[in-house]
Amino acid sequence: VTTDDWDTERILEADQRYVIRSWSQQGKPAQAAISHGEGSWFWDTDGRKYLDFQSQLVNLNLGHQHPKLVEAIVDQVRQMAYMGPGFAVRVRGELGERIAQLAPGDLDMSFFTTGGAEANENALRLAQHITGRPKVMARYRSYHGATAAALSLTGDPRHHHNGPGVPGVVRFHDPYVYRTPSGRPADECPVCLGAPHIEDVLQYEDPTTIAAIIIETVTGTNGILVPPDGYLQSVRDICDKYGIFLICDEVMAGYGRTGEWYAVNHWNVVPDIVTSAKGLNSGYVPLGAMTVGQRSRDWLVENKFWGGQTYAGHPLAAASALASLRIMEEENILDNVRRQGQRLDAGLRRIAESYEIIGDVRGKGLFYGVELVRDRTTKEMLVPFNATGAAAAPMQRIVADAWQRGLYISANNNVLRLTPPLIVTDDEIDFALVILDEVIGAADARRKD
């Protein structure tokens, strides 16, 4: 076999026959065969190009093939491709120190993993070890990863297929301002207040049995839910009152996505543990991190940390994160996120004026959701929650229409997710807005079908 044999068809066939793709029934071809990417764009093997308005899995924050990031990884692999986590290695320590400088409050010590799920696994276990308590509270509209405990923490329908999962997960509702938590319309949303609802649940569960409350600071996959002001502080206060760890999962929201290094910074709240991945190093090498504050540090210097991985703090991952953080500063990425976020927000609100199908536009920075409804007054969802097959088709059609026009977006239930790379330009935002106007407009015309 020569490389020349690998035309589009051959690539699709090999993928279909030999690769198990995430979250899908197998035996079907992938959406496309991809040859390469550059900046905010990627190309299929037939030469068509797409604006990556998802940043792949909301992880390629610096876009495709950032030259300085590629160079840093190449330099590191030449110098030291791997060294076991038991040894002190400059690049690991330097990354730990840099994170300590950027992280809020007293968060200053990190355990490095190979992704977000493992960071959450370790955060949960550490909170259980330190508090000696067995249970954890997690929200319904959440995704925390696909390992056993992380999927048990996950509230979205993917956890249904995780068997009984790990014991001790207690579920609570989300700050879903546009709707009641059950997805039905409401003028008021009492649980948006956070504390009263959580305190209710705690009363029934016995707060002395709860090790941690884990939340996505800004909910990502499950609808881009931005908490109202005061929510996060109220959760912090409840945690303090009962000695419960507050774990903020910033795997998607962290490292610039919302226009701050950490999403918690918008509300000046310091969690006990923050988990990161994705944007921490722009996804060029698998990496996650659990970063802890003083309460954990005090315990960790007195006790053993019961966790570890062959690839904990992999030098290539550490080098890519250090380079990514450096590039973010050099290129004023946070400023760009705030500026382009405003441009995107204004454009989406303009589009919403034309089409009844848009129920809600929400987000922060370059972390946006557009919630689609059949009727603005009743807020009936364009597709029912967790719809599959024909019932889900109206949303899939919009995503497919955008793809046909060269725009890569995604949808979760009835919410379109718009998460471009943080390097996105004015022209690219405008390109996306033109296509969004077209495909949402077409869906609006079909709305009552």
- Pick the closer one to ligand PLP by CB: 158 or 343: 158
Q: From the CB of 206, what's the least distance to ligand PLP, in Å?
A: 27
- Pick the closer one to ligand PLP by CB: 246 or 443: 246
Three-state DSSP class for 359? strand
Is the C-alpha dihedral spanning 153, 276, 257, 145 positive or negative?
negative
- Pick the closer one to ligand PLP by CB: 219 or 340: 219
What CA–CA distance (Å, rounded) separates 273 from 236?
Answer: 12
What CA–CA distance (Å, rounded) separates 322 from 153?
Answer: 30
- E strand spans, 135-200: 135-139, 169-172
The C-alpha torsion from 335 through 340 and 343 to 348, rounded to 10°, is -130
Answer yes or no: are the C-beta atoms of 231 and 107 closer than 8 Å: no
What CA–CA distance (Å, rounded) separates 351 from 444?
Answer: 11
- Pick the closer one to ligand PLP by CB: 146 or 186: 146
394 vs 87, 182, 408, 416, CA distance in Å? 53, 21, 17, 12
299 vs 45, 130, 296, CA distance in Å? 53, 7, 5
Q: From the CB of 250, what's the least distance to ligand PLP, in Å?
A: 7
Instruction: Please name which of 407, 385, 422 lies closest in space to residue 174, comparing C-alpha atoms.
Output: 385
Q: Give the containing element (helix H, strand E) for 69.
A: helix 67-79
Three-state DSSP class for 356? coil
Query: Shortest Cβ contact with ligand PLP: which residue?
Result: 116
- Pick the closer one to ligand PLP by CB: 249 or 272: 249
Please report, as ranges, the residues that interact with ligand PLP according to CB under 6 A.
Answer: 57, 115-117, 120, 143-145, 216, 220-221, 249, 251-252, 277, 288
- Pick the closer one to ligand PLP by CB: 144 or 379: 144
- Pick the closer one to ligand PLP by CB: 72 or 138: 138
3-state helix, strand, coil in the chain (%, to 5): 45, 15, 40
Q: From the CB of 356, what's the least distance to ligand PLP, in Å?
A: 30
- Pick the closer one to ligand PLP by CB: 116 or 223: 116
Strand partners, 158: none
Tokens (6 digits) for 133: 């308590």
Identity (one letter) of the amino acid at 6? W
Q: From the CB of 113, what's the least distance to ligand PLP, in Å?
A: 8
- Pick the closer one to ligand PLP by CB: 166 or 352: 166
Answer yes or no: are the C-beta atoms of 363 and 341 closer than 8 Å: yes
Q: From the CB of 309, what's the least distance to ligand PLP, in Å?
A: 13
Q: Give the containing element (helix H, strand E) for 43.
A: strand 41-44
Tokens (6 digits) for 5: 């044999």
- How many other C-beta atoms are found inside a 10 Å radius of the C-beta of residue 220? 26
Query: What one-character-per-residue DSSP string does 273-319 give?
Result: EEEE-GGGTTTSS--EEEEE-HHHHHHHTTS------TTTT-HHHHH
Q: From the CB of 228, what's the least distance to ligand PLP, in Å?
A: 19
Q: Output the furthest CA–CA distance in the chain (Å, rounded).
A: 66
Q: From the CB of 119, what's the least distance to ligand PLP, in Å?
A: 8
What CA–CA distance (Å, rounded) separates 253 from 326?
Answer: 19
Is the C-alpha dihedral spanning 387, 407, 249, 281 positive or negative?
positive
- Pick the closer one to ligand PLP by CB: 252 or 398: 252
Q: From the CB of 122, what's the least distance to ligand PLP, in Å?
A: 12
Residues in contact with 2: Cβ distance below 8 Å, sequence separation at least 6, in sequence order: none
Q: From the CB of 330, what's the least distance to ligand PLP, in Å?
A: 26
Q: From the CB of 109, what's the least distance to ligand PLP, in Å?
A: 20
- Pick the closer one to ligand PLP by CB: 16 or 412: 412
Q: From the CB of 217, what's the least distance to ligand PLP, in Å?
A: 9
Q: From the CB of 275, what's the least distance to ligand PLP, in Å?
A: 7
- Pick the closer one to ligand PLP by CB: 145 or 363: 145
